[in-house]
Structure 1
Amino acid sequence: MSYLRAFWNSPFTFWFILALPGLLIIGELLREVDKLEHLLHPTGEFAARFLIISLMITPLMFLTNGQRWVRWLMARRRYIGVAAACYTALHIAIYLLDKGSLGPILEDLVKIGIWTGWLASLIFIPLTVTSNDWSIARLGSNWKGLQKLAYAAALLVFTHWVLVDFKFGPALVHFTPLLLLQIYRYVHVSNKRKERKLTAHA
């Protein structure tokens, strides 16, 4: 049992689970070099899903009072965020290969759905580069402030999804749990602050 627990808790096992959809997509990419557009959706969706999951973990900690499975995810939240960035990079690579040349890419930049995607991708860069212990130690309290850019990235990803796919439903299904949990988090934190103020004045 201890070996099974060690295997399950290994970061390599977790990275393999995160990478598995990407490996399957890359395999399909290598088989169908001339037909790439249908691979844009799965890579973009996995990028969005992992971003959403990473942002859901903190409010889930409040909601579940820090249950074990949520703490397990919390310990691996940075991995999930990096996975979101990796799937974003794969999404971009497939998009560029599908367009084939600079002209069509530049033509797309005038579309809101496209440049919101590019902007979200740019936000992922500093978030990913600083997702390590060394950066956390160097940045100190500024690290958390930088990581809050992930919420801006989430809003941009949602806009990109809706405007490019022209389907509000799937995007809403993915992002609604995150929105509800963030509302709960805000209410929870606000109530705790009010309780502390009342206690201080009592």
Structure 2
Amino acid sequence: MRRIFFATHPYLLWLILASLGIMMTVTALTSTDPKIFHQLVHPAGETSARLLIILMMATPLTMLLKGWRGPQWLKRNRRYLGVASFGYALLHTIFYLIDKASVASVVGELPRLYIWTGWIAFLIFVPLALTSMDYFVRKMGTWWKWLQRWTYAAAVLTLVHWAALHDWGGAAPALIHFGPLIALEAYRVWYWYLRPSRRTARAS
């Protein structure tokens, strides 16, 4: 198990993360089904959301499961997961635009809650992905960490985007997926701000 977590080559990890996207792209380009892009919109978006959830769970899992190698591995590879999440979000957006086939259709849907929340989440993802390289980490310093905190806003918008997709009637899948992350973030807040030992230390 240790070998699996600590000796995974970055190129192998990239291949694993990209494999589903490659299959989706090949399917889209080779299928004769006129609705293929519509059928691929949701799987691409859901994959992006799942990767976002996994990368955001890394830190609270490391706090909760101290010494466990799995959460530590996730924490070290958060940037890979983040870029992959953006890649699937980009694929989701491309499939959506091709499916709509006209600017008028896209603009006409913008007032809908599940549409504009998705667009804002995607726009937040863009600078996060573009500045994911070590070069920007060094150049931006503390500003890089500030920018990365916008991941939380993107996550909230992604949750609303997914949950409101079917007029909130289909919110269950989104809540089931985001539920563990919400619980872990609640634990994180409790650990740092609300637990008795922490309050006592701050008071003294």
Would you say the 8 A contact 1:7–1:13 is kept in 2? no
Deviations 1:57-101 (A, max 9, x none): 000010001411211111111000110100000000000110111
- TM-superposed CA distance for 1:106, in Å, is 0.9
Letter of the structure 1 residue corresponding to residue 202 of structure 2: K
1:173 aligns with 2:173: no
Q: How far apart in 1 are the matches of 2:95 and 2:155?
A: 21
* 2:23 matched residue in structure 1: 24
| Structure 1 unaligned residues grouped into runs of 5+ | none
Q: Which has the higher contact order (CA 8 A, sep 6+)?
A: 1
Using structure 2 for the length normalisation, give the TM-score.
Answer: 0.90
* 2:10 matched residue in structure 1: 11
Structure 2 CA distance for partners of 1:6 and 1:124, relative to 1, 3 Å: closer
Deviations 1:95-132 (A, max 9, x none): 01101111111111121110110000000011111111
Alignment coverage as a number of residue pairs: 197
Q: What's the Cα RMSD here? A: 2.0
Q: How far apart in 2 are the matches of 1:187 and 1:5?
A: 32
- TM-superposed CA distance for 1:55, in Å, is 0.6
Q: How far apart in 2 are the matches of 1:157 and 1:94?
A: 17
Structure 2 CA distance for partners of 1:48 and 1:102, relative to 1, 3 Å: same
Using structure 1 for the length normalisation, give the TM-score.
Answer: 0.91
Would you say the 8 A contact 1:39–1:94 is kept in 2? yes
| Structure 2 unaligned residues grouped into runs of 5+ | none
Letter of the structure 2 residue corresponding to residue 186 of structure 1: V
* 1:197 matched residue in structure 2: 202
- TM-superposed CA distance for 1:5, in Å, is 5.9
